[in-house]
Amino acid sequence: MSIEFNNLKIYRRESGLTQEQVAEKLNVSRQAVAKWENGDTLPDIESCIALADLYGTTVDILVRNLSSYNANDDGKKHIFGLSKMNDKGQITLPKKCREVFRLHPGDAILVLGDEDKGMALVKLGNPLDILSPKGGKDNDGSTDKGTDKKVQRKNGGKRT
């Protein structure tokens, strides 16, 4: 694994801090923080420890490129990195995760949990696709166009 600080910007944003605020807490310049986040330079070990403490993680997580690590040889299990939950209970999924699983704004995600084994997320897709019959067909495969016209005639041509 290579040393790469690809999670710094994510941690900072999820912490609700600006680059200026991080710089002030670490006694460095805002430009130094920007260079770390962009991968132009690497922070020294003291700054790594301070960043890990600030973001509530470990130095190990900060210096490892976990986003490109596959958990097994077949390439179907991944470690995408860490996400932190904000005070509203929201998390931001890493970009690579959204790409691999083709997640888009508005997609429904089922949250499953086992108190012993942990949590899992399952993509359900667009909730409107789940709720509405595909192609204008009911679940039994029949279309409802004829029924719709009958209802319109009963209501004097008005749609309900």
pLDDT, block means (10 residues), the chain with 160 residues: 67 89 96 91 92 85 60 67 82 86 88 88 74 52 44 49
Domain count, the chain: 2
Which residue carries 């691999």 as its tokens? 100
Q: Answer yes or no: do 52 and 7 share one domain.
A: yes
Distances 28 to 44, 51, 60, 93 between C-alpha atoms, Å: 11, 12, 21, 29
Q: Answer yes or no: do 31 and 73 share one domain.
A: yes
Radius of gyration of the CA atoms of the chain, in A: 24
**Calpha distance 88→1 (Å, rounded):** 34
Residue 71 domain boundaries: 1-86
Residue 144 in any domain: the answer is yes
Residue 57 in any domain: the answer is yes
Q: Answer yes or no: do 82 and 130 share one domain.
A: no
Q: Answer yes or no: do 42 and 111 share one domain.
A: no
Q: Answer yes or no: do 3 and 71 share one domain.
A: yes
Q: Pick the closest to residue 122 from 106, 111, 107 (CA basis).
A: 111
Residue 95 in any domain: the answer is no
**Calpha distance 138→133 (Å, rounded):** 6
Q: Answer yes or no: do 116 and 64 share one domain.
A: no
Position 36 scores a pLDDT of 92
pTM of the model: 0.45
